Structure 1
Amino acid sequence: MARLVFYHHPQAENFSLKFSSVSLGEIQSLREQSAEPTKLIGYPFETPIYVLYEGDTEIESAEEIDFDKEWLSSRISDLPRAGQVVAFRLVELLEAAVDVREADEFRLYKEFEPKKIHEALNHTSWRKSVPEVAGEVMSNLILRHSLPNANHRTGIAMLQFCIESVDPDFTMPRTHVDDDTWREWVDPYIIDSKRLITVRRNNLRFKKLKELDIDLVERKDGIQIRLAEFDLDMHWREALSKYASLHETHCTEFAQAVLKRAERDDLLNQPGPTKQEFITYLEEGLVERDFREMF
């Protein structure tokens, strides 16, 4: 039977795996040194393994969300215009996602970090092919994780807008989360994306688990990461770069799949938008859009 440990604490999803050891004394010492709240799990394998989890924010209900215009303006005023426009649309998308689902069931896991949106735009290679630009936009927004939740769903929406900025008549394949067909072909992309970004941030922690003969790490939503399938033996900076590149390729492949499913092969090799064309579309082409229809 595969040996499995949890990445997020089973009773507290805002606590994530930080250290592991066969020595309870070592883990207790690390716990005493931690400046963050901690939780400890002992896994009763033949040789017990102890895992320390740290958490720095409380999970909140989306009922607490209040992104009014004054609050948002104060948070994004220091951003360049492009970053402000994307941040504004991302917040609208988040609010739409909350509206579609029960607000008390929609969880907020972190603070809103709008500066990361500006970073995402700066790391996008504009005027490549449509799927490359759209894939990079999606990947960069997901990797920087600027929203409190729904970064994958809003990232997919931004991919859609990126394609629409080239062809406003583009029809996105159905994206409703309660649609079985959507889940069948999209969920595997989202799940693999979450695996990549989790390994990217934790290669050394996962390397230690692998050395302790752990086979699987399970993050929230039941997503399992089989450690043998990933290269973990590298400096953490190298892992950040390598897995960011793999994630970008993964999102570009998703963009290609979207175009093929929409029967728009004509856009596969067409040049994507410039940064300004994308921002102009977000600012002027979506004024009457009801984003709830996308979720």
Structure 2
Amino acid sequence: MVHRIVHQHHPHDIQYSLEDVATEASAFVDDLTDDLEDCKVIGYPLPAGEAWVLYSRGTSGTAEDISASLAADEMGDTLSEMDSTSRVIAIWLLNFFAEMQTEERELGNSLSIYKELEIERVPEAVNQIDWDGSVTDVAGRLMSNLVLRHSLPNANHRTGITMAQAYLEAAGANFEMPSTTTEEYEWRAWVRPYILESKRILTVRRHNLYFNTLAELGCEVVRRKHDIDIPLTEYDLDMHHHEAWTVYAQMHEEHCIGLVEDIAARGGSSELIDRAALSEQDFVEFLQNENADGNEK
């Protein structure tokens, strides 16, 4: 049976995600026989040949599994080594993650995690932010770079959008996005497509060379978990990985700025699309006040 769809996450266990692609069945023999490797392989008969996909197991569990890390002495050392802007943003992120964990616990759930906590990556995000331009430009860059660095174990898109909202509020917006945890989230219909395309861009950015091999073999769609389809013909895949890393980061930033402009317009603050950006220092002071308020609760 010829396939035209390849799964980015193992179709029977989404804890395993695409790690490599080969055209020969023997390519991953060493991986499968290595006792230290936790992986699976699937062969996909495609129109122009067979593709063999290596899936490796990622981090799984719940936020409770990393609670000790949040309180460990090493966390304080990590924060103390950051510049002031990165440190304030990192503390805000940790507070926000703790709030999400509390919300889920109150609903009788546990917040799942899909990767390790990497709060040390926050300075990488901050160092890429251009603080010049309009309010929505900078808010979109904040969102994009935080999502790109993926420093939290889960909910990085939700966190990035909330950080962008905080920047809009700091710059004078007077609205609040509805909660993303309730069915009454009336913005879901138009926010969801932005998030799905963001995930597609990030996935292509990581795997363009693998996807290019699959496309050459006749694969039409790579399917992420939760049935998010990536039509391969809609993306430029034939480029060096380093070039793709830059090209798709820029595309992602423009995509996030577009979302933030839509948020501002729908929230009745369209003037922020043209208003000069808030300074880095003013935003840091705004977040410091938010962090202080959170610690008092």
Q: TM-score, normalised by structure 2?
A: 0.88
Alignment RMSD, CA only? 2.5
Show the counterpart of 1:174: 178
Show the counterpart of 1:163: 168
Show the counterpart of 2:55: 53
CA contact (8 A) 1:61 1:104 kept: no
CA contact (8 A) 1:18 1:205 kept: no
Establish whether residue 273 from structure 1 lines up as the match of residue 278 from structure 2: yes
Show the counterpart of 1:151: 156
CA contact (8 A) 2:179 2:185 kept: no
Tell me the number of residue pairs that the alignment of Structure 1 and Structure 2 aligns. Answer: 289
CA contact (8 A) 1:175 1:182 kept: no
Q: Deviation per CA, 1:225-244, whole angstroms, max 9, x where unpaired?
A: 01011000000000000000
CA contact (8 A) 1:79 1:118 kept: yes
CA contact (8 A) 1:173 1:261 kept: no
Structure 1 unaligned runs (5+)? 291-295
Question: Secondary structure of the equivalent of 1:206?
Answer: helix
After superposition, the Cα gap between the structure-2 partners of 1:180 and 1:281, relative to the gap in structure 1 and judged at 3 Å, is closer
Displacement of 1:26 after TM fit? 2.8
Q: TM-score, normalised by structure 1?
A: 0.89
Show the counterpart of 1:293: none
Task: Indicate which of 179, 202, 206 corresponds to 1:201.
Answer: 206
Q: Deviation per CA, 1:110-163, whole angstroms, max 9, x where unpaired?
A: 222223211111111113100100000000000011111111001011101111
After superposition, the Cα gap between the structure-2 partners of 1:69 and 1:85, relative to the gap in structure 1 and judged at 3 Å, is farther
Moved more, 198-207 or 11-20: 11-20
After superposition, the Cα gap between the structure-2 partners of 1:285 and 1:23, relative to the gap in structure 1 and judged at 3 Å, is closer
Establish whether residue 137 from structure 1 lines up as the match of residue 142 from structure 2: yes
Question: Secondary structure of the equivalent of 1:149?
Answer: coil
Structure 2 unaligned runs (5+)? none
In structure 1, distance between residues paired with 2:168 and 2:127: 18
Moved more, 206-215 or 171-180: 171-180
Displacement of 1:2 after TM fit? 6.8
Q: Which amino acid aligns with 1:50?
A: W
Amino-acid identity (%): 35
Q: Deviation per CA, 1:249-276, whole angstroms, max 9, x where unpaired?
A: 0000001000100111221111111111
Detail structure 1 runs of 4+ shifted over 6 Å in the superposition: none
After superposition, the Cα gap between the structure-2 partners of 1:116 and 1:265, relative to the gap in structure 1 and judged at 3 Å, is same
After superposition, the Cα gap between the structure-2 partners of 1:267 and 1:281, relative to the gap in structure 1 and judged at 3 Å, is same
CA contact (8 A) 1:142 1:152 kept: yes
In structure 1, distance between residues paired with 2:234 and 2:174: 37
Q: Which amino acid aligns with 1:79?
A: M
Establish whether residue 88 from structure 1 lines up as the match of residue 94 from structure 2: no
Establish whether residue 41 from structure 1 lines up as the match of residue 46 from structure 2: no
